[in-house]
Amino acid sequence: MRFWVYIFYLLVVWALDSLGDNDTHTEYDLHKRLFQQYNSNIIPRSMTSSDPFQVGIELYLMSINEINELRQTIAIMAFLEITWTDSLLIWEPLEYSNVTSINVKVKDIWTPDIVLRRTLDKQSDFIDADGHAMIYSDGRVIMWPYGRYTVSCRIFIGRFPFDEQTCLFDFMSWTNPSSKLVLSSESTEITMGAYFENGEWTLKRGNVNHERKPYGDDAWDHVIFTFELQRRSLFFVMNIMLPIICIAFLNTFCFILPSDGGERMTFCLSLFLTLAVFLTIVNGSLPESSDEVSKFGVYICLQLIGCGLSTIATVLSLKCFQESDHTPVRSCLRLFVMAMCVQKRDQIHHYRVDNELKANQNGGKIITAAIDTIDDCGKSDKCMSDGNGTIHHLPPVTWKMVSCACALDRFCFIASIVWHVVLLSVLRAVVVL
- Domain containing residue 86: CATH number: 2.70.170.10
225 and 115 within one domain: yes
At 424, which CATH number?
A: 1.20.58
Whether 7 is in a domain gets the answer no
100 with 139, same domain?
yes
Residue 65 lies in a domain: yes
Whether 307 and 428 share a structural domain = yes
Query: Where a domain ends, among 232, 247, 274?
Result: 232
Q: Residue 303 falls within a domain, yes or no? A: yes
The reply to whether 332 falls in a domain is no
Do 89 and 140 sit in the same domain of this protein?
yes
Claim to verify: residue 227 and residue 241 sit in the same structural domain: no
Nearest to 209 by CA among 161, 169, 241, 182: 169
Closest to 104 (Cα-Cα) out of 166, 159, 28, 200: 28
Task: For residues 138 and 66, state if they share a domain.
Answer: yes
Residues 248 and 218 in one domain: no
In a domain, 37, yes or no: no
Q: Distances in Å between the alpha carbon of 45 and those of 139, 141, 242?
A: 11, 13, 63
Q: Which of 232, 250, 268 is the last residue of a domain?
A: 232
Q: Check whether residue 110 and residue 254 sit in a common domain.
A: no
Task: Give the number of domains in the chain.
Answer: 3
pLDDT, one tens digit per residue, over 142-200 is 999 988 999 999 988 888 889 999 999 999 998 899 999 999 999 999 988 889 999 89
- 232, 258, 291: which is the final residue of a domain? 232
In angstroms, the CA 325 to CA 401 distance is 10
Is there a domain that residue 16 lies in? no
| pLDDT one-digit tens code per residue, 324-349 | 555 555 555 555 555 555 544 444 44
Same domain, 154 and 100: yes
**Cα 425 from chain centre:** 20
Are 80 and 185 members of one domain?
yes
Q: Give dist(CA 307, CA 133) in Å, integer.
A: 65
**How many residues are present in the chain?**
433
Pair 147, 130: CB distance under 8 Å:
no
| Total Cβ atoms within 10 A of residue 145 | 18
Around Cβ 83, how many Cβ atoms within 10 Å? 17
**Residue at 304 is within a domain:** yes
Q: Identify whether 8 is part of a domain.
A: no
The reported pTM is 0.71
Domain of residue 382 covers 349-393
**pLDDT tens, residue order, the chain (433 aa):** 555 555 655 565 555 555 544 444 578 888 889 998 899 888 998 777 778 999 999 999 999 999 988 888 999 999 999 999 999 999 999 888 889 999 999 989 999 999 999 887 655 556 776 789 999 999 999 999 988 999 999 988 888 889 999 999 999 998 899 999 999 999 999 988 889 999 899 999 999 999 999 988 899 999 999 999 999 989 888 988 898 888 888 888 887 777 666 677 888 888 888 888 888 887 777 766 556 788 888 888 888 888 888 888 887 777 766 665 555 555 555 555 555 555 444 444 443 334 444 444 544 444 333 334 434 444 444 555 455 555 555 555 554 454 454 567 777 788 888 998 999 888 888 876 6
Residues 64 and 146 both lie in one domain = yes
**What's the burial of 269, exposed, middle or buried (CB within 10 Å: 0-12/13-18/19+)?**
middle
Report how far residue 376's alpha carbon sits from residue 9's, in angstroms, rounded to the nearest whole number: 138
- Both 294 and 424 in one domain: the answer is yes
Cβ-contact 72, 89 below 8 angstroms: no
Q: What is the spatial distance between Cα 390 and Cα 348, in angstroms, rounded to a whole number?
A: 12
